Amino acid sequence: MLDLIKAAFLGFVEGLTEYLPVSSTGHLLLIEHFFGFQDEDFGKSFAVLIQLGAILALLSIYFRKLWLLATHMVTDAYSRRFVIGVLIAFLPAAVVGALAHGFIKDVLFNPWIVCFSLIAGGAVLLYVDQLPLKPKYDEATGFPLPMYFKIGVVQCAAMIPGVSRAGATIVGAMLLGADRRAAAEFSFWLAMPTMVGAFAYDLLKSHAQMTGEHLVVVAVGFVASFIFGWVVVKTFLGYVSRHGFGLFVWWRVIVGTLGLIGLAIFG
């Protein structure tokens, strides 16, 4: 019963943080370190596997747009170019993730790294948010193809837990000429292949751990992740357009600092 409660809470955290620039993986790793499952290997895999709930939340909201892209990409050059752009942006993370999967999970999945990355990433987010940038692109579907690839390269920094996939993508897009809303929306589009790929690869690597008991725990986390991921996707773009990223800077710094204090006291 305790594991189910933990799974529900972790699913809530995953759904709440996956599409915000605060690092869902970093949050999950810290929670698991202090309050997580006794089976540490399963805990690491759980953090990736419950992403499916957040993925499906995003896909359900973007279903109509995805359907239009799928049905028009053969005949419409604009739609086809955007699909190619998303795939180009996804490519760097796919290559780096496949080559460095073992190193990432064995070495970088470390709570100390998470805390320092949360704080440093908050400083970067604050710096970029306050720059006097002059955006050239206000539509995520209209970036130049080389820009999609550069954003994908920047996204690779999120292989370090605590950096944040959404944060890296948004910062990269803004520095390359996107406005806040377009940068945040493209982070949603790029999340689709990136998260599906990470989920599928980790499931392949950890399927042996998926006993009947573990499947129930993952299912509980999945449902919570779906519900709260749906809420965030529906509200995030509007919030960022009006208020910027200040809230998330403080969020990152506070969580990272509390994590360092907890590690210093409890180990």
Q: Per-residue pLDDT tens for 116-152?
A: 999 999 999 999 999 999 999 999 999 999 999 999 9
Q: How is residue 255 written in tokens? A: 């969580």
How far, in Å, CA of 32 to CA of 86, rounded?
32
Higher local confidence (pLDDT), 155 or 194: 155
SS3 178: strand
pLDDT digits 0-9 by tens, 60-85: 999 999 999 989 888 899 999 999 99
- Looking at the chain, the whole-number percentage of residues with pLDDT higher than 90 is 66
CA distance to 46, 147, 168, 212, per residue, from 220 (Å): 11, 38, 29, 13
| Backbone phi and psi for residue 23, each to the nearest 5 degrees, phi listed first | 75, 95
233 contacts 5 by C-beta, under 8 angstroms = no
pTM, to two decimals:
0.90
Is residue 220 scored above 70 in pLDDT? yes
Show the tokens assigned to 86. Answer: 């998303």
